[in-house]
Amino acid sequence: MSGRGFLGGHHPARKMEHIHPSPSGNEPAAIAVQGVSHSYGRHQALKNVSFSIPPGCIAVLLGLNGAGKTTLFSLISRLFAVQSGSIRIFDRDIGREPREALRRIGIVFQSRTLDLDLSVRQNLAYHAALHGLGRTETRQRIESVLQTVEMETRIKDKVRSLSGGQMRRIEIARALLHEPRLLLLDEPTVGLDIQSRASIVAFIRKLVADKGISVLWATHLIDEVYAGDHTVMLRQGAVTAAGLLRDVLTHTGSANVEEAFDKLCREAPISLEATA
């Protein structure tokens, strides 16, 4: 994940406060991360990370390259085991109930993972088989998800004949095949042209509005973040703010997301001793 797209520059260090979203009724959080730390040898990639995201919304994960976004995604998707703390997906603990937690998640990785020499149908059918879907159900779901991403006319085409934006739509369709409640998107618009990028952003937002699915979206592109989005900002493996972007802007006295990013993700935190 890259930190490109934000303006650089040095700013005086300041202590930042955390803003956490309030729970939504009695429905469990789409994702609840509590006290998660993770190390690679002596390097601590995540430091006591805690945040929660209400269901049926878009949450944007922001941070410089190396801030811990990829590690966090790897823990949520269980590519790595949680070393300390807990991660719950709709109240299912990823460590104690991995099967139930993971079947509620659909993932779109930053790197392309489609087989270019197979057709769209074949790519989706293979993924459906991995989830144990029967032939009839697979056919019905493939038709449904391709209609959702507006790619039903390309079902017989080889993937290598598609544009970058179309491939991304197919990867999103694949992630939706098993009907997850939470969609993880790791920099899904990287490498796309402006028109394709705008199309993917609009499509994901429509998906959330129409289907009520929850989305955790990692991005470094400012124009993909809206004031009504939940945000989680990371700096050197620690959460510096989590909550509605409009509230983060107000709380930090920032005029826009770019200014908030500079304050929350670029500045070195001040120790309590330094401020005493």
**pLDDT tens readout for residues 154-210:** 999 999 999 988 999 999 999 999 999 999 998 888 888 888 888 888 889 988 998
Task: Please give the Cα distance from 244 to 151 (Å, whole number).
Answer: 33
- CA-CA distance, 56 to 20, in Å (whole number)? 17
The model's pTM is 0.81
CA 98/CA 35 separation, integer angstroms: 18
Q: What is the pLDDT of residue 4?
A: 37
Q: What percent of the chain has pLDDT over 70?
A: 87
Please give the share of the chain, as a percent, with pLDDT higher than 90. Answer: 63
pLDDT digits (tens, 9 = 90+) for 33-89: 999 999 999 999 999 999 999 999 999 999 888 889 989 999 999 999 999 999 999
For the chain, the structural domain boundaries read 112-219
112-219 topology per CATH = Rossmann fold (3.40.50)
Q: Is pLDDT of 8 > 80? A: no
At residue 89's C-alpha, the angle toward residues 144 and 143, to 5°, is 5
Position 192 scores a pLDDT of 82
